[in-house]
Amino acid sequence: MRTRVFLLLLIAVAIVVFFATRWVNNDYVFFAGYTVLQFVVLSTAWNILGGYTGYVNFGSAAFFALGAYATVFLHKLYPLPIPLLIVVGGAVSGIVGLGMGYLTLRLRGAFFAIATLALAVVLQTLIVNWDYVGGSRGAYIIRPNEIALIGPYIQYLFLVMLALVVIALTVARGIERSRLGYGFATIRDDELAAEASGVPTLRLKLIATTLSGALMGMAGAPFPYYIGYLQPSSAFGLEYAVNSIAMPMIGGTTSWVGPLIGAILLGSLQQIATVTISSAVNLLIVGLLLVAFVIIAPNGIVGLVQGWIRRTK
Amino acid sequence: MAGALLEVTGLSKRFGGFVALDGIDLSVAAGERVGLIGPNGSGKSTLVNCICGTLVNETGSVRFDGETVDGLLTHERTRRGMARSFQLPRPFTTLTVADNLRVPLLYTVNARPGRALSPTELDARCAELLQLVALADKRTHLPRDLTQVEMRKLELARAMAAEPKLLIADESMAGLSQSEVDDIVSLLIRLNERGITIILIEHIMRAVMKFSQRLIVLVSGKKIADGLPDAVIRDPEVERAYLGQ
């Protein structure tokens, strides 16, 4: 019931954001905003596995790229509306997430992280050598200029990503408040004790990898329409893997608010830096901020605020 | 033994070339208080791990409550009514003391057939368990704020939250002072009086003798004695194992 209230509230905020952006009446704001929103979805998705269960995934880019390439594949086969493509992209990445979970969840800590990195490399190699989706040449997606009811296509993409943010945040918050959330936390804390308390750890970990993967794939599905030309090196780019780890870490990994704050803060900062300084500064900013936060506030901004509240009480 | 709650037959476990457990047979009747002792490295914790499914035994089988549990995962055995506490407390460090107890309630009690507990019933059950182990005022604290003895109590309370038929307490008193040991022993006896069968693994003989109705002795992975506590500790073989010849 309270989840429903939260969902309605989020939808209201999303509508306000959309019309506020429209009011600014500048296409660039939509372009930049899309990227920021995309990172909100990605970091929320990463946090479901990385923050709640404590399994660090370095392969976020692979799940994102799978969603994007599912779109390219279908675009060549039979063009579908974007909401359907998102469902397909989510399903593909979710299934790969499930498979990855099954293969790698016996590994812990750094070993799991390395395995996810390896998965990303394997998938990128597959895509580079798959001619139908463009191979290493990349693939062009020609998007329409306008769409009915909304107008410019970029506004439509922005709206779609806004909807994904609403879905991702609702899922994340729903998990936190449910039995699943407690189960995930016990996996993060002590798997042996979790099993002894009746928690089916393997099943929960598979749920986490599937959900996390699916949301990343959903974030990736509209990407080819946004960028217009998709090549493996951009879809599997380092910035996706690094950002989806750094944003939750900087925001705070224990609640859905953390990735949201981290992504908005870091995402906007990167967009501003791209315009004012240069696009190469992006990852440098992320790296510096990550180092600073690991030292000063290991529990992120949310942890910092929580600590401050506890002290003043 | 007919009507035994736990029945272990011919259980063996090896780690590489090292035989940790060698053909263990034992049975525990419902409602019994059994002490399990043995020198360091005799295989007590390995036995617990095999009974609870944390480790997989190569041979032998474990029957619990009339059914074989071989091949079941730990959480499945917990749901059937087998609970354990760990030798070194393993609390869920990021959850509050009350939420530590909520986990087995949600995942064990509510996972069993029958009506699930409502949120208010869950809160009440947590409060009741905390009352039982005298941790009620630490409800909202994190485990790191607890003292050693409180940590042990939390460990026992968490095992109890799963509403077990059998509780295996693995060295739940190591490193505690005398009065704290007495505290835990009387807690365990109180739990037993509520109808829970308990296996106590312990080095502190005073606690073991006070608690146990029956004593089982493990030495180098073999069971060398099983009987009334007073008779067992006078057994020459047991004396030899503990004191040397």
Tens of pLDDT, residue by residue over A196-237, are 999 999 999 999 999 999 999 999 999 999 998 999 988 898
- Give me the mean pLDDT over the A17-44 stretch: 90
Q: How far is B237 from chain A (nearest CA, A)?
A: 35
B223 close to A (CB below 8 A): no
Tell me the backbone φ, ψ of residue B194, rounded to 5 degrees.
-80, 0
Going residue by residue through chain B (245 aa), what tens digit of pLDDT does each one get? 457 899 999 999 999 889 899 999 999 999 999 999 988 888 999 999 999 999 999 899 999 998 999 989 999 999 999 999 998 899 999 999 999 999 999 999 888 887 788 888 999 999 999 998 888 898 889 999 999 889 998 999 999 999 999 999 988 888 788 888 898 899 899 989 988 999 999 888 889 999 999 999 999 889 988 989 888 888 888 888 876 65
User: Token pair of A284, please?
Assistant: 């440098």
Q: Which residues pair with B170 in a beta bridge?
A: B201
Contact B29, B5 (CB under 8 A): yes
CATH assignment of A2-249?
1.10.3470
Q: Which of B78, B93, B106 sits opposite A196 (nearest CB)?
A: B78
B116 close to A (CB below 8 A): no
What is the Cα–Cα distance from A220 to A69, expressed in whole angstroms? 8
Of A75, A32, A43, A51, which is closest to residue A222 (Cα–Cα)?
Answer: A75
Sheet bearing B82-85, strands edge to edge: B82-85, B166-170, B197-201, B33-37, B214-219, B222-227
Q: How far is B133 from chain A (nearest CA, A)?
A: 18
Tell me the backbone φ, ψ of residue B24, rounded to 5 degrees.
-80, 130
Q: How far is A202 from chain B (nearest CA, A)?
A: 10
What is the Cα–Cα distance from A102 to A97, expressed in whole angstroms? 9
Taking the CA of residue A298 as centre, how many other CA atoms within 13 Å lie in the half-sphere pointing to its CB? 1
What pLDDT is recorded for position A45? 96
pLDDT of residue A49 exceeding 60: yes
Q: Which chain A residues in 250-289 lie under 8 Å from chain B, judged by CB atoms? A: 254
User: Token pair of A69, please?
Assistant: 């390439």
Residue B196 neighbours by CB under 8 Å, 6+ apart: B160, B164, B165, B166, B167
Q: Which of B54, B104, B110 sits opposite A197 (nearest CB)?
A: B104
C-beta atoms of A182 and B95 within 8 A: yes
What pLDDT is recorded for position A274? 84
B83 close to A (CB below 8 A): yes
Which residues of chain A are within 8 Å of residue B129 when distances are taken between CB atoms?
Answer: none
What pLDDT is recorded for position B244? 67
Contact A81, A48 (CB under 8 A): no
C-beta atoms of A190 and B90 within 8 A: yes
Mean pLDDT of chain A: 90
Q: Is A270 exposed, middle or buried (0-12, 13-18, 19+ CB in 10 A)?
A: buried
C-beta atoms of B158 and A190 within 8 A: no
Q: How far is B126 from chain A (nearest CA, A)?
A: 14
What is the Cα–Cα distance from A280 to A237, expressed in whole angstroms? 13
Q: How far is B107 from chain A (nearest CA, A)?
A: 5
ipTM: 0.88
C-beta atoms of B106 and A182 within 8 A: yes
> pLDDT class for A70, splitting at 50, 70, 90?
very high
Q: How far is A201 from chain B (nearest CA, A)?
A: 8
What pLDDT is recorded for position B1? 46
C-beta atoms of B94 and A199 within 8 A: no
Residue B18 neighbours by CB under 8 Å, 6+ apart: none
pLDDT of residue A63 exceeding 90: yes
C-beta atoms of B92 and A193 within 8 A: yes
What pLDDT is recorded for position A1? 54
End-to-end CA gap in chain B:
34
* Beta pairing class for B214-219 and A151-152: unpaired
What is the Cα–Cα distance from A301 to A286, expressed in whole angstroms? 15
- Give me the mean pLDDT over the A32-43 stretch: 95
A148 close to B (CB below 8 A): no
User: Token pair of A183, please?
Assistant: 């189960």
- A with B: how many residue pairs have Cβ under 8 Å apart? 80
Q: Where do the structural domains in chain A lie, given as residue ranges? A: 2-249
Q: How far is A2 from chain B (nearest CA, A)?
A: 14
Lookup result for tokens 């359907």: A84
B231 close to A (CB below 8 A): no
Considering A201-215, A234-248, A261-275, the range whose residues carry the highest mean pLDDT is: A201-215
What pLDDT is recorded for position A134? 84
The crossing angle, in degrees rounded to 10, of helices A60-77 and A109-128 is 30
Q: Which of A192, A197, A202 sits opposite B107 (nearest CB)?
A: A197
C-beta atoms of B104 and A201 within 8 A: no
Tell me the backbone φ, ψ of residue B11, rounded to 5 degrees.
-80, 125
What is the Rg, in whole angstroms, of the alpha carbon atoms belonging to chain B? 18
Q: Which chain A residues in 235-254 lie under 8 Å from chain B, judged by CB atoms? A: 254
A177 close to B (CB below 8 A): no
A185 close to B (CB below 8 A): yes
B106 close to A (CB below 8 A): yes
What pLDDT is recorded for position A53? 93
Contact B97, B139 (CB under 8 A): yes
What is the Cα–Cα distance from B239 to B241, expressed in whole angstroms? 5
Which residues of chain B are within 8 Å of residue A182 when distances are taken between CB atoms?
Answer: 95, 99, 102-103, 106-107
Contact A189, A72 (CB under 8 A): no
Contact A188, B94 (CB under 8 A): yes
Tens of pLDDT, residue by residue over A154-200, are 899 999 999 999 999 999 999 998 999 999 999 999 999 999 999 99
Contact A73, A132 (CB under 8 A): yes
Q: How far is B42 from chain A (nearest CA, A)?
A: 22
pLDDT of residue A76 exceeding 80: yes
User: Token pair of B202, please?
Assistant: 């312990």
Helix (H, G, I), strand (E, B) or coil at A232: helix
Of A254, A180, A176, which is closest to residue B103 (Cα–Cα)?
Answer: A180
Domains of chain B: 4-91+164-243 (3.40.50.300)
DSSP string, chain B: -TTEEEEEEEEEEEETTEEEEEEEEEEEETT-EEEEE--TTSSHHHHHHHHHTSS--SEEEEEETTEE-TT--HHHHHHTTEEEE-SS----TTS-HHHHHHHHIIIIITTSSSPPPPHHHHHHHHHHHHHHTT-GGGTTS-GGGS-HHHHHHHHHHHHHHT--SEEEEESTTTT--HHHHHHHHHHHHHHHHTT-EEEEE-S-HHHHHHH-SEEEEEETTEEEEEE-HHHHHH-HHHHHHHH--
